[in-house]
Structure 1
């Protein structure tokens, strides 16, 4: 039944997206080109609404349940995120207003009992987060929500990377026997793939903040549900799965901190911008990042099944690969001197 619902969500998304495109144009939810953006013509956004509607259809059909989890806070939180995204796609909300919407959505989930409460240490014992469980959970949800939003810079990029993450999360949920996370992940996957039919280069519609925020929110919650209250090494698994958006966000924060810019300040040094500057085409850049996301997904699966030393080896290889890749494409920026100067002026220890 799960896989039938996945297919139905895909079909629903394929059918609904053209209707959402007409709605976006009618209400003026469009994206105009500028110096920071890659597209050259006015594009309808709001495409995430088609993903959301298809997801809700699949959720109502399948009605996934879990004895220890209530789906109500997740649905309410996702609705708050959708409203925030729709308003931003139409009226271009300020960063503070969008953050308030994200905090409200995350707060609903936390109050619903979904929290990162503790982790089991590899050599015995538990690390209880206590009063820090709530802020840590909110930080995770808001952080991943914005990470997906930040990589939404090319046709099909955020939808494709999110789909790869959902495949990995759902696949690992099957291995762990977590039917709730698997079911929600697969119906979300079907809805996203249906939208990707219209969003892959050359895109006919953008997902906008409606889609990027919704996908980021749902992926953050699913990752939290699938890997919470487990070992410290298993906690790294969702971080590896979301390696592309997390690393891109991490280096964006470094760039803005070094250049003394606000964290919300836009720039053209994200991963996809760097690859475009190296001469790759729009389509090639997206496919390369898909490949990187798939590599992270595979590494997460290997990491989860490995022994302690095997897991450490996987982490070491990943960190070296990231360092070499970042240096090769200049993800921190065109000039390393400001960063080196910044680091040399800091005293550690």
Structure 2
């Protein structure tokens, strides 16, 4: 039944998105072009409502029995309402954050938290009084990370789909059929929307979709890896490597430039790739590939031995650093490893 729900959600999403598009124009939920955005015409931007409505259809069909089912649904309603209000009226970051915190608090209140992790060499780290803040930070952080990468046609929907597929595979491996079922109805809904959102997009998901997808991915990844080993705790971080990295380096970039953390800029990963000369479609496909690599690494990482896992994570960190330097994600002058390589090359040529 869970696989049938994937197809049904996809079909519902494909059928309902054009209706949402007309509705967006009617209520004025449109995205106007400006110097920070890459589109050049008025675009409807509550496409995420179609994702959410398709998800609801799948939820009603699947009727997943779990203590978190209703809290997740209530939280998702709150996050979608927050997104719709922002897509129509462009509310302040503080109000958006309030909606995210409220949605996260619903599932945390009903028991979704990370109380401890088991260390690889024995023992535990218990979070104690930090349990709720850490869980809250994860949900709000991932929600915003997905929102931040929603800058090109099909980018957030595609990256989210890849993350959802990875979480689904991990859930099947771990025998968690609740998380697997929720992933499939979310995936079907997102892929159906992507039919209209891939370049050239006919509709944007807006904050309605980006916040909803971020919230659901954050919650499902927590459910799948709750109170597990230190290695497994890293898995959801790897799965969401692209949006987390982009958000992390955006924070670093703004600190270095002495700008507010909430200030927008045109230096995100997709902007940097565009500046390197890649086209819109090429940039999106490159980031899809990076997301798929992160997903594959996460699955390998979860099944590998301790030492292999440490080697894998070391290689991944070096790769991330090289991407940051090549793309100029922090700044055009930040290239420590590349400069070191050049110096070694120059030194070798002198010694010949």
Instruction: Please indicate, yes or no, whether the TM-score normalized by the shorter chain is above 0.5.
Output: yes
Task: Identify the residue that residue 214 of structure 1 maps to in structure 2.
Answer: 212
1:131 positional shift: 1.3
Task: Identify the residue that residue 182 of structure 2 maps to in structure 1.
Answer: 184
* Residue aligned with 1:234, SS: helix
Q: Which runs of 5+ in 2 are unaligned?
A: 336-352
Task: Identify the residue that residue 65 of structure 1 maps to in structure 2.
Answer: 65
Task: Identify the residue that residue 200 of structure 2 maps to in structure 1.
Answer: 202
1:125 positional shift: 2.1
Task: Identify the residue that residue 315 of structure 1 maps to in structure 2.
Answer: 313
Could you report, residue by residue, the CA deviation over 1:285-325 in whole angstroms, capped at 9, with x for unpaired residues? Answer: 00000000000000000000000001001101100101111
* Residue aligned with 2:230, SS: coil
Task: Identify the residue that residue 9 of structure 1 maps to in structure 2.
Answer: 9
Task: Identify the residue that residue 33 of structure 2 maps to in structure 1.
Answer: 33
Distance in 2 (CA, whole Å) between partners of 1:94 and 1:70 is: 30
Distance in 1 (CA, whole Å) between partners of 2:222 and 2:199 is: 31
Residue correspondence of structure 1 range 1-349 to structure 2 within 5 A: 1-66=1-66, 69-336=67-334
1:70 positional shift: 2.6
Could you report, residue by residue, the CA deviation over 1:47-75 in whole angstroms, capped at 9, with x for unpaired residues? Answer: 00000000010000001123xx3311111
* Residue aligned with 2:41, SS: coil
* Residue aligned with 2:179, SS: helix
Kept in 1: contact 2:82–2:99 (CA 8 A)? yes
1:213 positional shift: 0.2
* Residue aligned with 2:290, SS: helix
What is the aligned-residue RMSD (CA, Å)? 0.9
Task: Identify the residue that residue 341 of structure 1 maps to in structure 2.
Answer: none
Q: Which runs of 5+ in 1 are unaligned?
A: 338-349
Kept in 1: contact 2:83–2:209 (CA 8 A)? yes
1:129 positional shift: 1.1
Could you report, residue by residue, the CA deviation over 1:145-176 in whole angstroms, capped at 9, with x for unpaired residues? Answer: 00000000000000000000000000110011
1:121 positional shift: 1.3
1:120 positional shift: 1.1
Kept in 1: contact 2:68–2:107 (CA 8 A)? no
Kept in 1: contact 2:255–2:261 (CA 8 A)? yes
Distance in 2 (CA, whole Å) between partners of 1:227 and 1:314 is: 19
Could you report, residue by residue, the CA deviation over 1:61-113 in whole angstroms, capped at 9, with x for unpaired residues? Answer: 001123xx331111110000000000000000100000000000011110011
Task: Identify the residue that residue 341 of structure 2 maps to in structure 1.
Answer: none
Distance in 1 (CA, whole Å) between partners of 2:191 and 2:58 is: 14
Tell me the TM-score normalized by structure 1: 0.95
Distance in 2 (CA, whole Å) between partners of 1:118 and 1:198 is: 42
* Residue aligned with 1:119, SS: strand
Aligned residues: 335
* Residue aligned with 1:233, SS: helix
Distance in 1 (CA, whole Å) between partners of 2:142 and 2:217 is: 8
